[in-house]
Amino acid sequence: MHWMTARRPAALLVALALVSRPGDALGQPAGTAAPAEPAVPAPSAPPAGESAPPAGEGASAAPAGDSAPAAGESAPDRRAEAEARFYKGRKLYEAGAFGPALAEFLASTELYPNRSATSGAATCLRKLHRFDEALELFEILLRDFGNALPAEARTAVQREVLELRGLVGTIEIEHAEPGASISVGGQRRGDYPLLAPLRVPAGSHVVHVDKEGFEPLQIRVDVAGGRTVRVAARMRAIAPRRRAPGRGGRLRVAERHGQEMDVLVDGNLVGRTPWEGEVEAGEHTVVLRGDGDAGTEPIRVTVRHNQLSAVTPSAEDVSSFLRIQAAPDDASVALDAVVLAEGAWEGRLRPGEHDIEVSAPGFVTRKLNVHLTEGRRHVVRVALELDLDAPRWRLHRARRPGRLAAELGAGLWLTPSLGGDVAGSCFGRCDEGVGLGGLGVARGGYVLESGLELGVSLGYLDGGQTVAGRRTSARRTRQLLADQGTADDALSLRGVLAGAFAGLAVGDDFPVHLRLGAGALIGSVSDARTGKFLGEQEYQVGPAEVTSSAPFVYLAPELRLGISLHPRAELSVGVETLLLFSVSRPRWDAAHQVSTSTDGGAYFSGETLAGRFLLAIAPGLGIHYKY
């Protein structure tokens, strides 16, 4: 059994323990007197196998005595809003909406710290498999509310903590640059040096270490539960752009109000304001960094040969952090109409609205607006879609790599005649219908870079033909001479086709497939027969039916025309010609006695039911997919 389903439902024990004493279910940190709490009905028990709703559902969320009200807002008002959010979170939890429930429980604790919402948030995090955050909240529950918890509930929480510690590992960052930003899985976790090791759920994680003026690091680590992984994050300074002799200019940078700040040119720390130096002619990005959150957003400046260019930006609050991750890696990233980098960029910006534009040759340009919050880290990932009409792709389509392909097809099966002694001897007043049926085929193979297709096929054929008024003879039992008459035959050909094919595929928007298949048909031919014959008197024969095995080998040239529905999928219409060569001709069983309308029975001769060669065509539809 999977460990998630087999684990001890500690959260359920917590909830049951707390609900069992509704008067104590919701409270504040130990030592804080809680105001009177209105009793409310406890919720119904959760379904079997599910962890319980958050603890303390028998009463309202109680305030923490050390939670100061906001300006203009009384403690009772904050407590009432916290209580309302707790109950909203509980309803969302019971509905299985653990993410929204988590947000409500956290909002409740921010307004008025209480053990019920803390337990609810921890339980939601556990449900969401965010084990490191769940562990932190369960530890807070023990630290801040442990003395107020009933003994059974406290024991259950302690067991939950022990179990989660086995599902959570830690990452220790070493040797990074002071002040470097550390992120795990795209989530900012702080600046180096961290005050404590990073807790993460057991598994594979990507650690990002970034600092202006240094090459960013990206390290993948595998962390086992209960273990610590140390990451050496030695960072390499970005080498200044070398100026070609005689091709440089001068750049002067100063803060408009005279503040002394660090100057970064193209991500390299070059000095303090006011600064002036030689740089290569061309486009450059300038950023100022001061104490705290003071600085400037990126500024684009053009330096001309043997000329002086000056910029005097004003320092402002750049307390928001933005990372833009673009795909493909060579995509151009522009922020507020300033081109910053290719592939990825990150830096500090002023809070508020910003415009992002990501573009790359052969892709559809994307523009989006983001709102940055003060003091928050934001990550924006932009994946560009292919512009299939771009010259970049049309130029290289003929050089597309080979890939696996699969196809399903179905259609009609038509033949002028099954041949043999039955359908092949229909003359005069005999009426012979056209052979009609259905054919379904599944193909799988590989399409080479050149468009050559190689693969195997598997199909099923079910077809038939009727012959009425055919002149033939039947011999009655104990009669030496056969009686003449006419017979009506209903012939059926059924079998499995298995083989291989080779072909050529050309075109993209309207692909054309030319193929030649070969293989074997393992099947049978049946003949359901009735007839009228004249002896001393006219008599009826049948109905009677025989089935004879009918192995064939075949060749199958095919032409299909398609229309592209997707870069990997196409719908096609085509026609396949089946050339069937009989290996062993099916026959009527001459020893098979058929009933007659008079006493006794009759026998037919061993007539062949199909010819040595059959020709059929199969028009139909198909769906083709390339992996």
pTM: 0.41
Assess if residue 243 is contained within a domain.
Answer: no
Of residues 28 and 590, more confidently modeled = 590
Split at pLDDT 50, 70, 90, the class of 514 is very high
Give the C-alpha separation, 578 to 554, whole Å. Answer: 7
Of residues 267 and 174, more confidently modeled = 174
Q: Do 281 and 152 share a structural domain?
A: no
Q: What is the pLDDT of residue 457?
A: 94
Q: Do 155 and 35 share a structural domain?
A: yes
Q: What is the pLDDT of residue 60?
A: 34
What is the average pLDDT across 354-371?
91
Assess if residue 110 is contained within a domain.
Answer: yes
Q: What is the 3-state secondary structure (H, E, C) of 448-484?
A: CCCCEEEEEEEEEEEEEEEEEEEEEEEEECCCCCCEE
CATH assignment at residue 53: 1.25.40.10
Assess if residue 393 is contained within a domain.
Answer: no
Which residue range is the domain that position 556 belongs to? 400-626
| pLDDT at residue 21 is higher than 90 | no
| pLDDT at residue 53 is higher than 70 | no
Q: Final residue of a domain: which of 357, 383, 409? A: 383
Q: What is the pLDDT of residue 2?
A: 35
Assess if residue 392 is contained within a domain.
Answer: no
Q: Are 381 and 344 in contact (CB under 8 A)?
A: no
Work out how many domains the chain is built from and give that number: 4
What is the average pLDDT across 479-502?
92
Q: Final residue of a domain: which of 383, 418, 452? A: 383
Q: Do 28 and 119 share a structural domain?
A: yes
Q: What is the pLDDT of residue 438?
A: 94
Q: Do 308 and 187 share a structural domain?
A: no
Assess if residue 37 is contained within a domain.
Answer: yes
Q: Final residue of a domain: which of 115, 144, 165? A: 165
Q: Do 513 and 407 share a structural domain?
A: yes
Q: Which of 482, 445, 489, 487 is nearest to 467 (CA)?
A: 489
What is the average pLDDT across 75-80?
82
Q: What is the pLDDT of residue 220?
A: 85
Q: Do 138 and 201 share a structural domain?
A: no
Q: Do 456 and 308 share a structural domain?
A: no
What is the average pLDDT across 450-462?
92
Beta-carbon contacts of 420 under 8 Å, excluding residues fewer than 6 positions away, are 585, 586, 607, 608, 609, 610, 611
Q: Which of 465, 414, 342 is nearest to 576 (CA)?
A: 414
Q: What is the pLDDT of residue 52?
A: 41
Q: Token digits for 67?
A: 């939670």
Q: Do 561 and 420 share a structural domain?
A: yes
What is the average pLDDT across 576-594?
93
| pLDDT at residue 76 is higher than 80 | no
* Paired strand residues for 573: 561, 621
* Paired strand residues for 403: 447
What is the average pLDDT across 387-409?
68
What is the average pLDDT across 252-275?
88
| pLDDT at residue 383 is higher than 60 | yes
Q: Do 180 and 151 share a structural domain?
A: no
| pLDDT at residue 530 is higher than 70 | yes
CATH assignment at residue 565: 2.40.160.20
Q: How do residues 304-348 score in pLDDT, each as one tens digit?
A: 888 899 999 999 999 888 888 888 878 889 999 888 888 888 888
> What are the angstrom distances between the C-alpha of 411 and each of 46, 109, 415, 441, 528?
54, 65, 13, 9, 25
CATH assignment at residue 214: 2.60.40.1120
Q: Do 505 and 430 share a structural domain?
A: yes
Assess if residue 336 is contained within a domain.
Answer: yes
Top mean pLDDT of 9-18, 51-60, 574-583 is at: 574-583
Of residues 599 and 128, more confidently modeled = 128
Give the C-alpha separation, 257 to 308, whole Å. Answer: 21
Average pLDDT of the chain, as a whole number: 82
Assess if residue 237 is contained within a domain.
Answer: no
Q: Do 534 and 548 share a structural domain?
A: yes
Q: What is the pLDDT of residue 33?
A: 34
| pLDDT at residue 467 is higher than 90 | yes
Q: Do 463 and 585 share a structural domain?
A: yes
Q: What is the pLDDT of residue 401?
A: 62
